[in-house]
Structure 1
Amino acid sequence: MDPYYFSLGLLISINSILYYYQHQNSKQAVPAETRHAKTSDDTEANLDIQDDKAVSRFKWQFFPVYLLVVGSDWLQGPYIYALYKDEKALPEETVASLFMTGFVFGAASAFFVGSLADHYGRRAACLIFCAAYSVSCATVLSNNIILLFFGRALGGLSATLMYPVFETWMVTEYHVRGLDRAGLDLSGVFGKMTTWSSVVAIAMGVFSQVLVDVSGTTCAPFIASIMCLSVSAVVIGRTWNENYGNTDTGNISLNATSSGWKTIMKDKRILTLGATSAFFEGIMFIFIFYKTPALTAARSAAGKTGSPPFGLIFACLMCAMMSGSIMFTLAGSSSDIPSSGRTLSVVVAIASCCFSLPVLLRHELVVFWMFCLYEACIGVYYPSMGYLKGRVVEDSVRAKVYGVMRLPLNVFVIAALSLTQEGDRHRDNVFAFCGGLLLVVSILVYRFLG
C-alpha cells in the first residue's frame, strides 16, 4: 500500500476521533444551559433565544465566505512551486525571484493596506482582495515572464490583505454585536476557523490532485481558485455589513505606519507578537518553498523515481494541521493571555525540532512526518495567535497594526529567498537556521506572554 494513502487514512482516523471527543464535549455543556433556561423567567429565556440567533447569524455570514477564500488559497498550495519549476521549466533562482516578488510587494503594501481598510472599510478591502487574487491566478495561464512577475506582485498584495482584513472584520463584528455576552468565545471562533480551514485544505489538496490528473496541467487549480473567489465576492457584497477602524484621513500615509509602529513598540506584548508573527509565519512561507524539493530529494536519495504525489501530501499536511487545531479546542482554548502564551511557547519549541531532524535524517517518511508534526504546530499556532492579538490589540487600530506586523515578516522572507541556491546543502543550512530561530522565539514568547 502506498505510504501516503496509508498516512492520509491514519490522519483522517485520528481527526475523526478527536472531532468525536470535541463534539461530545460540546454536548456536555448543553444540559447546564438548558437547566438554566428552565429556571429563568420568560424574559431571560427569550434573550437566550435571541442570543442563539445572533450567534448563528454571525457564523453563517462569516464562515462560508472565509472557507471559500482560504479554499482558493489552498487550491494553489500543492502546485505553485511545481507550476513554475516543472511545467514552465524555470530555473530555481527564477522561481525564488517570483516568490520573492510576492513578498516584496507584500512588504510594500503593509505600509498602507491596514490604514486603508480601517478608513474605507474592511468589507471593501475584502472585495478588493477577491479581485486582486483572481487576476493573480489568471496570470499563470501565460508563459510571459513579465506577466508571471506581475501575478506574483498581485499575489503579494493579496496575501497582505487576506488574513488581516477578514480577521479584523470578524473581530469587529464580534464586538459590535456583543457576541461575548451571547456566550460565543472569541478563542473558540479562532479555533473553529483553523479547524474548518484545515478540513477545506484537505479537500482542496485532494481536489487539486484530481484536477491536475484529469486536465494534465498544474494551471487547473488556479482556475478553480478564481471560481471560489468570485462566489466569495458576490456573497460579501450582498450579505456583509461594513465596519471601520480609525477613520482619520490624516493617518492614511506613512504617518499611519509610524502610528502602527508606535503602538507596537510601546507594548512589549504586541512587540513580542509582532516578532513571533514575523519569524514563525515567515519560516512557514520559507517551508512552503522548500518542502517540495526536500521531499523530492529524500525520495531520490532512496533510489525512487518520479515525483511524490504533492496533492496527496498536501492533504496529509492539512490533516495534521487540523489535528493541531482540534487539540487546541479540546484543551479548552485559552481563558487568559498567560495560558495562551505558554501554549504558544511550547508549540514554537516543538516546531523548532521539526526543522532540525530532517537535516539529520534524510529518510523520506521521516521528513514527511516531521513536516506533518510542523503542520500540527501551525494548527495550534493560528488560534493561539489570533486569540492573543484579539485580546492585546485595540480594535480602533487593529487592521493598521496587523498590516504593519506583516512588514517584518515579508522583509524576513525576502532576505531568506534572495539567498536561495541549488542543492541540498543550502536547504539543510536554511532548515538548521529556522530551527534555531524558532527556539529563540519560543523563549521570547514564554518571557513576555507566558
Structure 2
Amino acid sequence: MIVNLYWITLFVLLPVTVLHMSRSLLAKAARSFLAKAKRHTSDTPPPSPTDSVTGEDDHERIKDKEARAFQIKFLKVYLFAMAADWLQGPYTYPLFKTEFEFPEKTVASLYMTTFIAAAISSLLVGFLADKFGRRNACLAFCLIHSLSALSVLSKDLKVLYAGQALGGIGLAMLWTVFESWMVTEWNTRKLGDERLGTMFGTMTRANCSAAVLGGLIGDLAVEVSGTRKGPFVVGVAIEAIAAAMLICCWNENYGQPKDSKEKRMTPKETLRQLGDIKIWALSFISCCWEGTNFLVLFFWPGILQDAHRRIHGPDAEDVPYGPIFAAFMLAMILGALLFSAIMKRKKSRLAWPIDPFQSPSKTSWLKKAFTNPHNLMGIVIFIGGGCLLQSAYVPIEVLAFFGYLLFEFCNGIYVPCVAYHRGIVVNEGNRAGLYGLMKLPHFLFVIIALATAVEDPRHRQTVFLACFSTLVAASLASIIGLRGSAPEEKKPENDMEQLMEMSDGDSFREKMLTPHTLASASTPTLSTTRPTTAHEIIMDKQS
C-alpha cells in the first residue's frame, strides 16, 4: 500500500510535469523544423529580420533574451540556497519526534524558537541588507543556515534551541534578501512588469524542481547514513557551493540603481508606505496563507502516519517522507506552470487586445476572474482552504494525501502570484526592509498556533478549521483589496479608437481617414455600396 500510494503517485506526476515544462521548447523546435522544411521544398530564401519584424518587435526580442540571461544568472545561485533548505524540511519533524524521541510539546517549542527568531530578526535583517548590501546578506544567510544545520549533530536541547534560533534568522533572510536583490536588478534592467510575473512563475517551478531533487536526495542520504541527520550534512555542502557562486556571479545591490540620484529611503520613510491599503492586504494574505502552509508542513507527517497506521496497524513502518514531499513539489510545479501560462496570455492580450473575428466587448466574466492575478489568487486561496478541511476531517490515507496534493497545486499558483504583486506594489527603496515587516504577521500567526500544539488528532482538526476561516478572509482581501494593483488592459472608447491603437504607422490612419470613410462615418448614406468592414481593413493592413 505504501509503495502503491506514494511512489506510484510520484512516478505518475514526474513525467507529466516534465512534459508540461518542456512543452514550449518542443513546440518551438517543431515550428523551427517545419519552417526550415517548408523553405527547403519551396526554394525560397529565409525572411530577413528587417522584413518580418518591426523595431518594437526587435526591442521586445532583445528584452526577452536579456530576461532569460538574467534568469540563469539568478537561478543558478538561488536554487542551491533553496535546495539546502528543502533537504532539511521533510526530516526536521521526524528527526525530533521519532529519532530523538522528543514529546510533541518539545518539538513544537523547537519550531516556535525558529519562528520567534524569524519574527524578531525580520525587523532588522531587511534594513541591514539594504544598508550593507544584499549580496553580503545572501552570503551571511549561507553561513548562518549552515551553522543551524550542523546543530542537529548534537542531541543537547540547548544546542538544538540555539540552532533553531539561527535557522529562524536564516529563514527571515531567505524570504527577503534574495527576492529583493532580484527585483531591483530586474527593474534596473527595465525588463517589464509582465516579464516579472513570468519570472516569478519560473522561480517557483525551478524552486519546486530543486525541492523534488532535494526530497529524493534527502531520502538517499537517510538510507546511506542510517540517520535523519544525513540531509542536514548534505545541505551544508550545498550552502558552500551557493556561497562560492554568489561571490563569482553576483554584483552588490543596495536597493537602487548605481546611477540613481535619489537617496535611499530611511526606515521611517519606509514605514510610511504602510499607509497603502494594498501593502496591508498583501501582508494579511501572506500571514494567512503562508502561516497555514507552515502549519501544514508541521502537521502532515503526523496526519499521514496516523492514517497509515489505522490501515496497517500500530507497528507499520513510517511513510516515505522524501518521496511524499517530492510529490507535493511536483503538484506545486504544475500550479506554477498554470500561473505562467495565464501571465503569458495576459501579456499577449495587452500587446494585441483585439480579435478581428470576435467583438472585444464580449468577454466572459469567468475569463476575467481567472486572468486577473488578484482574482486568481483569491480563488486558489479559498480552494486550498477547502482541501485542508477535507484532509483533516476525513481520516482516510488516500483522501488525505490527495487533499494535500491539491493544496500544493494551489500553493504553486499562489507563490508566484503574491510575489508578482509584491514586485509591483512595494517601492524600490528599502524593499528588503519592507518585505521583512510584511512577513512579521506570518511569523506571529505560526507562533500562536504552535503554542497550542498538543498530541491529539482533534486539535489538528480545530487548527485547520481556524485556518480555513482565515483563508476565506484572505480570499476576500485578495479580490477586493488588491484590485487595480496589476496593469490592466485599457478599453478603447469606440471601435475606431481600437483600430487606431492597432496601427503602428501613418499609412493605416490615412487609409482609415479617406474622404469616403469620413463621410460614411459622419453621415448616414443610402448607397448600396457595402462599406469596408474593420476586419477587411485589418487584413488589408497585414497583407
* TM-score above 0.5: yes
Q: CA deviation at 1:50?
A: 6.1
Aligned to 1:352: 385
Give the superposed CA RMSD.
Answer: 2.7
- The whole-number CA distance in structure 2 between the counterparts of 1:36 and 1:327 is 35
1:231 aligns with 2:241: yes
Aligned to 1:380: 413
The one-letter amino acid paired with 1:271 is: W
Residues 441 and 414 of structure 1, relative CA distance in 2, 3 Å threshold = same
Q: Which of 229, 252, 258 is 1:219 aligned to?
A: 229
Aligned to 1:302: 311
1:204 aligns with 2:200: no
Instruction: Give 1:21-420 correspondences, 5 Å limit.
Output: 21-23=23-25, 37-39=49-51, 51=63, 54-180=66-192, 185-245=195-255, 251=266, 256=267, 259-264=269-274, 266-304=275-313, 305-333=316-344, 335=347, 339-420=372-453
Q: CA deviation at 1:52?
A: 5.9
Q: CA deviation at 1:410?
A: 0.7
Unaligned runs of at least 5 residues, structure 1: none
Matched-pair contact (CA < 8 Å) for 1:37–1:45: no
Query: TM-score, normalising length from structure 1?
Result: 0.91
Q: Which of 10, 13, 16 is 2:15 aligned to?
A: 13
Q: CA deviation at 1:12?
A: 1.4
Q: CA deviation at 1:120?
A: 1.2
Q: Which range is displaced more, 422-431 or 51-60?
A: 51-60
- The whole-number CA distance in structure 2 between the counterparts of 1:373 and 1:58 is 32
SS at match of 2:372: helix
Residues 240 and 295 of structure 1, relative CA distance in 2, 3 Å threshold = same
SS at match of 1:151: helix
Matched-pair contact (CA < 8 Å) for 1:273–1:389: yes
The one-letter amino acid paired with 2:287 is: A
Q: CA deviation at 1:383?
A: 0.6
Q: CA deviation at 1:207?
A: 1.1
Q: CA deviation at 1:375?
A: 0.7
Q: CA deviation at 1:25?
A: 6.5
- The whole-number CA distance in structure 2 between the counterparts of 1:158 and 1:417 is 20
Larger Rg: 2
- The whole-number CA distance in structure 1 between the counterparts of 2:20 and 2:53 is 37
Q: CA deviation at 1:4?
A: 1.0
SS at match of 2:109: helix
- The whole-number CA distance in structure 2 between the counterparts of 1:387 and 1:29 is 31
Matched-pair contact (CA < 8 Å) for 1:119–1:248: no
The one-letter amino acid paired with 2:231 is: P
- The whole-number CA distance in structure 2 between the counterparts of 1:129 and 1:119 is 16
Q: Which range is displaced more, 386-395 or 23-32?
A: 23-32
Deviations 1:30-81 (A, max 9, x none): 999x979332799999977865663344223211111111111110111110
Q: CA deviation at 1:16?
A: 3.1
SS at match of 2:319: coil
Matched-pair contact (CA < 8 Å) for 1:22–1:326: no
Percent of aligned positions with the same letter in both sequences?
34
The one-letter amino acid paired with 1:310 is: Y
Residues 86 and 250 of structure 1, relative CA distance in 2, 3 Å threshold = same
Matched-pair contact (CA < 8 Å) for 1:18–1:327: no
Matched-pair contact (CA < 8 Å) for 2:115–2:443: yes
Q: CA deviation at 1:179?
A: 2.5
SS at match of 2:160: helix
Residues 295 and 49 of structure 1, relative CA distance in 2, 3 Å threshold = closer
Unaligned runs of at least 5 residues, structure 2: 36-45, 257-261, 351-368, 484-543
The one-letter amino acid paired with 1:16 is: V
SS at match of 1:135: helix
Residues 332 and 248 of structure 1, relative CA distance in 2, 3 Å threshold = closer
- The whole-number CA distance in structure 2 between the counterparts of 1:346 and 1:131 is 39
- The whole-number CA distance in structure 2 between the counterparts of 1:352 and 1:36 is 53
Which fold has the larger relative contact order, with Cα–Cα distance below 8 Å and residues 6 or more apart in sequence?
1
- The whole-number CA distance in structure 1 between the counterparts of 2:184 and 2:151 is 34
Q: CA deviation at 1:298?
A: 0.9
Query: TM-score, normalising length from structure 2?
Result: 0.76
SS at match of 2:415: helix
Aligned to 2:456: 423
Q: CA deviation at 1:354?
A: 1.2
Matched-pair contact (CA < 8 Å) for 2:200–2:416: yes
Residues 346 and 41 of structure 1, relative CA distance in 2, 3 Å threshold = closer
Q: CA deviation at 1:428?
A: 1.1
Deviations 1:103-124 (A, max 9, x none): 0010001111111111111111
Matched-pair contact (CA < 8 Å) for 1:354–1:435: no
Residues 432 and 123 of structure 1, relative CA distance in 2, 3 Å threshold = same
The one-letter amino acid paired with 1:392 is: V
SS at match of 2:430: helix
Q: CA deviation at 1:250?
A: 9.1
Residues 270 and 83 of structure 1, relative CA distance in 2, 3 Å threshold = same
- The whole-number CA distance in structure 2 between the counterparts of 1:368 and 1:55 is 37
- The whole-number CA distance in structure 2 between the counterparts of 1:26 and 1:283 is 39
The one-letter amino acid paired with 2:272 is: K
The one-letter amino acid paired with 1:326 is: L
Q: CA deviation at 1:178?
A: 2.4
